[in-house]
Amino acid sequence: MKQSIFQYLKKKNISDPFMVDSLFISAFAVKNQWVINVNADLIEHTKCVDPEELNEFIQQLEQCDCDFTFECLIELFEFVVSPKDKVVTGAIYTPKEVRTLIINQVLNALDIKKLKTVKVGDIACGCGSFLMDVALYIHNKTGRNYIDIYKEQLYGIDIQKYSVQRSQILLSLLAISEGEDNNFEFNIKHANTLTYDFEKMISKNGEKLDVIVGNPPYVCSRNMNSDVKVALNKWSVCQTGHPDLYIPFFQIGLENIKENGVLGYITMNSFIKSLNGRALRKYFQDNHFKFDLIDFRDRQIFKSRSTYTCICIIRKEQSSTINYGINKFDSINKVPCFIKVKYSDLNYYSGWNLNQYTKNSSIESVGIPLGEYCSSSHGIATLSNKTYIFHPYFSDDEYYYFNKDGVDWRVEKKVCRSIVNSNKLTKEVDYDSIAEKVIFPYTNDTKPSVIEENYFIDVYPQAYHYLNAHRHLLLSRDKGKGSEYDHWYAFGRSQGIKKTKAKLLFPKIANKPPHCILSTDPDLLFYNGQAFIDDDINKLIVVKRIVESSLFWSYISSTSKPYSSGYYCLNGNYIKNFGIYSFSPTEYEFLISENDQDKINEFIDKIYNNCCFTH
């Protein structure tokens, strides 16, 4: 539907929010036979619409199977937010089922008397879909008029003026659809929630909201403008990593509801484990909130954006546990069975281990954490792999020959090293099929340093000539900072160039137990993926056996960050706490010499079962 409506508005040159809203209101009012005689705001909108244009627009909507329901209107409101605004403000439409689940969770416990006075807010309200559902809920349960509900019970904030306007339109139309045509008084503010003075929200001094619901904006740090970044900084939950914009909305919400009040959000689920969620986890743990967390894991909830989300129902009451459940049902609005996880068992610093909590925390308590057992590396970072890395089509004693963008080059073999992209190890591949060459303008020491330019020109003239021909590309690295490097031909970062006796290469993401390659070539370099590094080769073989085991994969698939198509993140943070058992010399020997993966799986399961799960 969306594309043709967009084309239509573009063709007619209608981009002003007031005019867009006017067309929407008029079309929906005509099709639903809503009579608007009193509401001045809606009348003003409908007055400015040309009847012919309206007919044409209605036909357009009909052709796109628009059913003229409130859900369709809300989707249209989201759709007409410009892509640029969507990136900066995180505007996204929340599906009806999610809103219903949250609203039921936060309001179902209230009796009719309380429902008549409960004050509910959405502090990133968009076009007001949560507010609309709350109003409908209160109206249906208590019979209160919408005019009273809007004036005394509903509160909203949005940073976009058009969102405030659209929330008012939506709520007015809801009332009119039920025969209540009036001029309504709203408490929906056009403001920045991060800096808003909540004392002003409810006129009675100091009174707080009972309930806050919503879908706070998901905006990553690089898409925020500098004002927002400064405003984020004042919130204690934003003190670790690069916080996403949804993170402070938890603290703001919880600080601005009454004791025993409740907050119901759908947000990204990354705070459960991420570095930027560390301060937020600490905040939750320090306050011991009564917390129901429904995790959607890798399931996609939003049509228009790929995001990993969860629903958080947080009561401002003390509890020693978090209730954690995963929604695995067809229907989004079913509440899963919860497991109770003690706050005191959770580690805010390294990330919450909630999924299969008992099993995974037992695994983590075994032996030595993998992150301490051996160190890891992320490989080299040239910041221009296309320039440095190549596949030779031929080689002789002295040179590698390769083609780059249709031009043939040769470079001295002695200034090159072998390199692999260890992210390619998601599949069963052998070393030869993924090995490439990289121009390595460094000395041949254990801790290499960049070779001097005159030496480079004299000793490796072909390689110098090739890089010099791509100099403009190298200078533009690091957003132009490449021109400030001491040596323009050096890699963008000096990481990962040190020689190591042995390394175990493995990918950063995988959709099955990862395939690891053990290399004892001290000169081999790698990029994109990661590697465990140690001088003791046997130790790395043991790590290989464990990382490739079914037990390790079951740990990863229940604790790590999920991506689509069954992929999980294998980055340091997600694997470093896996406990490496202190194997006896015989067990150690078995692991090193055995190659049959089924036998290794059976052996590892047995060892961990004995020490983790038998008591």
Q: Which residues sit at the interface with ligand SAM, rule CB under 6 A?
A: 89-94, 122, 124-126, 129-130, 157-160, 163, 192-194, 214-215, 217
Nearer to ligand SAM among residue 75 and residue 534 (C-beta):
75
Min separation Cβ 156 and ligand SAM, Å: 9
Helix-strand-coil split of the chain, %, nearest 5: 45, 20, 35
Nearer to ligand SAM among residue 88 and residue 335 (C-beta):
88
Nearer to ligand SAM among residue 95 and residue 441 (C-beta):
95
Nearer to ligand SAM among residue 219 and residue 380 (C-beta):
219
Nearer to ligand SAM among residue 212 and residue 600 (C-beta):
212
Min separation Cβ 14 and ligand SAM, Å: 21
Q: From the CB of residue 279, how many other CB atoms can be counted at a distance below 10 Å?
A: 20
Residue 69 near residue 33 (C-beta atoms within 8 A): no
Min separation Cβ 172 and ligand SAM, Å: 17
Min separation Cβ 176 and ligand SAM, Å: 21
C-alpha span between 192 and 226 (Å, rounded) = 14
Q: Which pairing describes strands 530-534 and 502-506: parallel, antiparallel, or unpaired?
A: antiparallel
CA distances from 493 to 7, 295, 437, 490 (A): 46, 38, 18, 8
Of residues 237, 325, 231, the one with CA closest to residue 286: 237
Nearer to ligand SAM among residue 133 and residue 295 (C-beta):
133
Contacts of residue 356, defined as CB under 8 A and 6 or more positions apart, other chains included, come to 558, 559
Min separation Cβ 603 and ligand SAM, Å: 48
Min separation Cβ 304 and ligand SAM, Å: 11
Nearer to ligand SAM among residue 158 and residue 436 (C-beta):
158
Of residues 277, 483, 489, the one with CA closest to residue 384: 489
Contacts of residue 568, defined as CB under 8 A and 6 or more positions apart, other chains included, come to 509, 510, 511, 556, 557, 560, 561, 562, 574
Min separation Cβ 193 and ligand SAM, Å: 4
Q: Which residues pair with 341 in a beta bridge?
A: 322
SS3 state of residue 324: strand
Nearer to ligand SAM among residue 80 and residue 451 (C-beta):
80
Min separation Cβ 99 and ligand SAM, Å: 7
179 residue type, one letter? G
C-alpha span between 78 and 582 (Å, rounded) = 56
Contacts of residue 68, defined as CB under 8 A and 6 or more positions apart, other chains included, come to 27, 28, 31, 32, 61
C-alpha span between 431 and 564 (Å, rounded) = 27
Min separation Cβ 132 and ligand SAM, Å: 10
Residue 158 near residue 10 (C-beta atoms within 8 A): no
Residue nearest to ligand SAM (CB): 126
C-alpha span between 259 and 254 (Å, rounded) = 9
Phi, psi of 544 (to 5 degrees): -60, -45
Min separation Cβ 243 and ligand SAM, Å: 13
Nearer to ligand SAM among residue 160 and residue 353 (C-beta):
160
Nearer to ligand SAM among residue 129 and residue 560 (C-beta):
129
